[in-house]
Amino acid sequence: MATEAEIAPSHHHDEPDPNANYLIASKGVWSWLTTLDHKRIGVMYLISVTLAFFMGGMFALLIRLELLTPGRTIMGAATYNRVFTLHGAIMVFLFIIPSIPAAMGNFILPIMLGAKDVAFPRLNLMSFYIYVIGAIFCLFSIVSGAVDTGWTFYTPYSTTSSSSVVSMTLGVFILGFSSILTGLNFIVTIHKLRAPGMHWRRLPLFVWGMYATSVIQVLATPVLAITLALLAMEKVLGLGIFDASLGGDPVLFQHFFWFYSHPAVYIMIVPGMAIVSELFATFSRRAVFGYFAIAMSSLGLALLGFLVWGHHMFTSGQSEFSTMVFSGLTMLVAIPSGVKVFNWTATLYKGSIWLTTPMLYALSFLVLFTIGGLTGLFLGTLSVDIHLHDTYFVVAHFHYVMMGGTVMGFLGGLLYWWPKITGKLYNEPAAKVSWGFIFVGFNAVFIAQFIMGSRGMPRRYYDYVPEFRPYHAFSTYGSWVLAVGFFILAGVLIQSLLKGAKSPPNPWGSAGFEWNTSSPPIYSNFAETPVITRGPYDYHEATEEELFDGFPEDFKKTES
Amino acid sequence: MNSTDLMKQLPAQWSTFGPGYDWLFYFIYWMSVALFVGIIGTAIFFVVKYRRRPGVKAEPTGHNLVMELAWTVAPVILLVLLFHWGFAGYVSLTSPPPDAMDIRVRARKWSWDFEYPNGGHTANSVTIPINRPVRFVISSEDVLHAMFIPAFRVKRDAVPGMYSTLWFQATHTGDTRFYCAEYCGAADAPVIGADGVARETGHFSMGGPVHIIPQSQWQEFLVGILRAPTHANGTEFTPAEWGEQLYTAQNCNTCHSVNGSAMTGPTWQHIFGHDVALADGSHVPVDENYVRRSILEPNAQVVQGFNPVMPSYQGSLTDRQLDALIAYIRSLR
């Protein structure tokens, strides 16, 4: 820890200067590629996941464009199947799973704990390169014919498809190890590297969320690896595990797949909730209501996430008894989710609410996740699910949770920590405009999908009967509004990188510990090991200097 | 379709499950609307009322154990209710009455075959009588598919290697649609139909009409599917005409052309009466027996240059339909 660094003899001349800004502590591309600094690794992840998000987003726009009119609009059916598969696979495995934990968790989590780095910095760098190698296999599968199985790789279609399923599953298999190593690193870091005074009840809620996420990553991801290995063995060696014609059981694959992929839903959403908890506290200027309940509900979701995989299989031919049990357990998920929503709302009460763009994203999360959660009740209720299963209703539901939840949390966190990461301020009014486009566009895309879904439009359809045309067209127009929002946001961030004003250490006046160091942080995070004497949300105990260091005059200038 | 129809959440319901299903759906719907307005309305009210103002500080957060317990426990009551109603509905969805009439449903890429109690078949369209419980016994010959009839509020996967069932009792006569709801891929390229138009086939094209007819017409329908179809003037199709109709109805045209071009399978043009080379190098004459065997055991004698991918039509075609197809292929000589 930091104390060891202080005792250590004076550092070698080519080692980074511990007291310099981490961006310039050592120079050159090589110093970035071989860095052990959690902040630089976080930034490299951030760039990677942003590229993945851009690619996945382009595929999403192609899907919507094709569905603008019935029949062929711009591509054939075989191409369409590849496009929607790549949209799903890239968004899930290359963007959303690593997005918040690997990019923002890596950057912020050690600073929040008052640590110098994660517990295993070399392992951290290795997990980044494993991610890169996995991503290369996934990209290779795209140029070698792509995959047309859907991101779920259901057998026996995936074992009989002539597309490059093996390369894609190998890529996802490798990506899993990156996820496991990051999770392991975070668990050890949280247990062992907390600064003096940072006891469990003072742990920021972002850290609690990362902790719950890491536990799922470590426990669930190996199951996906095994499943994909079995799939590859069946496809390459002809072992009969899932293929009925070889004596296997296709439903078994679904059990295996969802045993990982349902917990993975919580790998995706819990980090979003974790960021939003920070945003509600900072921009309401008071502690999150029900701190302990929110922390425990993250762990509760992590646990329940392991027990509900069968709700993806209500029509699959699993036994009626399992179906009943899974429906009951699925209902329980609503309780910790509800606890979070109620607590966030109560946090606003008697606060001093500052509607910055990050806060607008936090409120968007509240609105969209509530819709995502309530529509989950339709799908958890057995008889109601039967009609809605595998329709656009499900597509809309999980986009409200994944995009309306996690992506809104990601964007809120990105803008909130942007001055911390880059040391630059961004243009708030322009960021608000981009938020407006994203919020309106998103709802336009998916509200239409709820209605067509419950009216009977099945998912993964290249063509549709004329009855559904107005909904598809509306959804496609929404996707263009959404895209405009993202392009404005990209412009805002690029403008900030190139010409943004220098940020004060604590531009938001937050009581969070990550703001108690310079922005951007020095290489060793803190000049000396901090001693924590209050909670991360104790605004009434924080000094004025802590809350507004150099603010608000500097910030106001850039705003106007 | 007018604008109020566009905003309706559910399509028309035409089965005995419909009223109960729609009631529960709309119960959850309006409950969700109420909860959403309550939660988000409160949040917006707070955001406006407690907006940042100079000189006004936030109050430190307190505790309210009663409220926290209340919003943890109160949802449980609601969830138990939903679970109970959902499960009760599911029990009736999965418990066909003992007197239900069985229709055997076979799915394959990318068509459906329906076999009626008298051994007659229809392809990609199903006809059922009103007010009579009908049970579908579903299987798949290749990958996963799912039978989905929105108007009946029923859905069930077709899984290779096992049977799955769904049942319903229609309450309206008329036409509605069934769909495939489990992703099953698509053909690599558009397929040219008998009408000369190229069409994409795949998961999305694997649907068709559900005709619900009065019980008085049911016997007539059953007899009709065993006979050759008739022209508008009442004369029966010739065997070759019937075969041409089956060529499209049974989706033979997905893989076999009649104009000489090779698709997934060999063309039917100019093959009857000629010799063909098989994958093992031997030659066989294309005669009645070869064609019949190629339909019923398609992978026994595969023509050189083609993959053994055709599903068996054993049990999907009656002998008279087989004769009609053979007559059609002969006519293309």
Query: Residue A496 pLDDT > 70, yes or no?
Result: yes
Choosing among 3.10.105.10, 1.10.760.10, 3.60.15.10, 3.40.50.2000, the CATH entry for B239-331 is 1.10.760.10
What is the structure's pLDDT at A360? Answer: 97
What is the structure's pLDDT at A490? Answer: 97
Instruction: Classify residue A404 by its DSSP letter.
Output: I
Please indicate, yes or no, if residue A20 is contained in any of the structural domains: no
**Superfamily per CATH, domain B101-224:** Cupredoxins -  blue copper proteins (2.60.40.420)
ipTM for the predicted complex comes to 0.91
Query: Residue B216 pLDDT > 90, yes or no?
Result: yes
The angle, 0 to 180 degrees and rounded to 10, between the axes of the packed helices B239-249 and B319-331 is: 100
Query: Residue A535 pLDDT > 70, yes or no?
Result: yes
* Partner-chain residue, chosen from A374, A380, A456, that has the shortest CB–CB distance to B150: A456
- Any B CB within 8 A of A246 CB: no
> Mean pLDDT across the stretch B203-210?
94
> Mean pLDDT across the stretch B106-134?
92
Subunit contact B204:A77, Cβ cutoff 8 A: yes
- CA–CA dist B264, A343 (Å, integer): 60
Q: How confident is the model at residue B4 (pLDDT cuts 50, 70, 90)?
A: low
Query: Residue A555 pLDDT > 60, yes or no?
Result: no
- Any B CB within 8 A of A386 CB: yes
Please indicate, yes or no, if residue A8 is contained in any of the structural domains: no
Q: How confident is the model at residue A277 (pLDDT cuts 50, 70, 90)?
A: very high
Query: Residue A248 pLDDT > 60, yes or no?
Result: yes
What is the structure's pLDDT at B2? Answer: 52
Query: In chain B, whose CA is at the least distance from the CA of A315?
Result: B156
Subunit contact B32:A374, Cβ cutoff 8 A: yes
Subunit contact A451:B56, Cβ cutoff 8 A: no
Cis peptide before A156 (omega within 30 of 0): yes
CB atoms within 10 A of CB A212: 26
What is the structure's pLDDT at A14? Answer: 61
Max avg pLDDT among B52-56, B176-180, B269-273: B176-180
Cβ-Cβ contacts under 8 Å, A323 against chain B: 90
Please indicate, yes or no, if residue A441 is contained in any of the structural domains: yes
Query: Residue A1 pLDDT > 60, yes or no?
Result: no
Best CA proximity match to A294, nearest among A308, A277, A281, A279: A277
Please indicate, yes or no, if residue A23 is contained in any of the structural domains: no
- CA–CA dist B314, B293 (Å, integer): 10
- Any B CB within 8 A of A338 CB: yes
Q: How confident is the model at residue A2 (pLDDT cuts 50, 70, 90)?
A: very low
- Identify the residue with better confidence: B227 or B185: B185
Q: Which residue, among B147, B149, B204, would best test binding to A if mutated, counting the most A CBs under 10 Å from its CB? A: B204
- Any B CB within 8 A of A72 CB: yes
Cβ-Cβ contacts under 8 Å, A341 against chain B: 39
Query: In chain A, whose CA is at the least distance from the CA of B3?
Result: A470
From B282's Cα to the closest Cα of chain A, the distance in A is 28
Query: Residue A531 pLDDT > 80, yes or no?
Result: yes
Q: How confident is the model at residue A34 (pLDDT cuts 50, 70, 90)?
A: very high
pLDDT, tens digit, 9 for 90 and up, residues A332-377 = 999 999 999 999 999 999 999 999 999 999 999 999 999 999 999 9
> Mean pLDDT across the stretch B306-326?
84
Please indicate, yes or no, if residue A470 is contained in any of the structural domains: yes
Cβ-Cβ contacts under 8 Å, A243 against chain B: 160
User: What is the per-residue burial (b if ≥16 Cβ within 10 Å, else e) of A114-128?
Assistant: bbbbbbbbebbbebb
What is the structure's pLDDT at B63? Answer: 85
pLDDT, tens digit, 9 for 90 and up, residues A46-102 = 999 999 999 999 999 999 999 999 999 999 999 999 999 999 999 999 999 999 999
Subunit contact B46:A383, Cβ cutoff 8 A: no
Cβ-Cβ contacts under 8 Å, A75 against chain B: none
Residue B196 Ramachandran class (φ > 0 left, ψ -120 to 50 alpha, else beta): left
- CB A501, CB A558: distance < 8 Å: yes
- CB B115, CB B104: distance < 8 Å: yes
Please indicate, yes or no, if residue A151 is contained in any of the structural domains: yes
Q: Which residue, among B37, B42, B61, B66, would best test binding to A if mutated, counting the most A CBs under 10 Å from its CB? A: B61
| Domain B9-53+61-93 CATH assignment equals 1.10.287.90 | yes
Q: Which residue, among A387, A454, A459, A534, would best test binding to B if mutated, counting the most B CBs under 10 Å from its CB? A: A387
CA dihedral of A275, A278, A283, A288, whole degrees rounded to 10:
130
- Any B CB within 8 A of A37 CB: no
What stretch(es) of chain B map to CATH 2.60.40.420?
A: 101-224
> Mean pLDDT across the stretch A18-33?
88
Instruction: Please compute, for residue B272, the number of CA atoms within 13 A of its CA located in the half-sphere on the CB side.
Output: 16
- CA–CA dist A130, A136 (Å, integer): 10
> Mean pLDDT across the stretch A517-529?
90
Subunit contact A150:B183, Cβ cutoff 8 A: yes
Percentage, residues of chain A above pLDDT 90: 76
Identity of the residue numbered B137: V
pLDDT, tens digit, 9 for 90 and up, residues A141-175 = 888 888 899 999 998 888 888 778 888 889 999 99
What stretch(es) of chain B map to CATH 1.10.287.90?
A: 9-53+61-93
What is the structure's pLDDT at A558? Answer: 44
| CATH code, A503 | 1.20.210.10
Subunit contact A335:B79, Cβ cutoff 8 A: yes
Query: Residue B90 pLDDT > 90, yes or no?
Result: yes
Please indicate, yes or no, if residue A309 is contained in any of the structural domains: yes
Pairing of strands B101-108, B134-140: parallel
Bridge partners (DSSP) of residue A424 are: A502
Residue numbers of A between 405 and 464 with CB closer than 8 Å to B: 451, 454-456, 458-464
pLDDT, tens digit, 9 for 90 and up, residues A393-424 = 999 999 999 999 999 999 999 999 999 999 99
Subunit contact A348:B82, Cβ cutoff 8 A: no
From B74's Cα to the closest Cα of chain A, the distance in A is 9
Tell me how many domains chain A contains: 1
Q: How confident is the model at residue A7 (pLDDT cuts 50, 70, 90)?
A: very low
Tokens 């709820």 sit at which residue? A450
- CA–CA dist A136, A166 (Å, integer): 13
- Domain holding A126, by residue range, is 30-559
Q: Which residue, among A378, A382, A395, would best test binding to B if mutated, counting the most B CBs under 10 Å from its CB? A: A382
Q: Which residue, among B17, B39, B176, B183, would best test binding to A if mutated, counting the most A CBs under 10 Å from its CB? A: B183
Q: How confident is the model at residue A5 (pLDDT cuts 50, 70, 90)?
A: very low
What spatial distance separates the first Cα and last Cα of chain A, rounded to whole Å?
Answer: 43
Pairing of strands B126-129, B208-213: parallel
pLDDT, tens digit, 9 for 90 and up, residues A302-331 = 999 999 999 999 998 888 899 999 999 999
Percentage, residues of chain A above pLDDT 70: 95
- CA–CA dist A337, A373 (Å, integer): 8
- CA–CA dist A251, A149 (Å, integer): 16
Query: Residue A9 pLDDT > 50, yes or no?
Result: no
From B166's Cα to the closest Cα of chain A, the distance in A is 10
> Mean pLDDT across the stretch A518-524?
91
- Identify the residue with better confidence: A550 or A448: A448
Q: What is the full DSSP assignment across A429-479?
A: HHHHHHHHHHHHHHHHHHHHHHHHHHTT-BSS-SS--GGGHHHHHHHHHHH
Query: Residue B268 pLDDT > 50, yes or no?
Result: yes
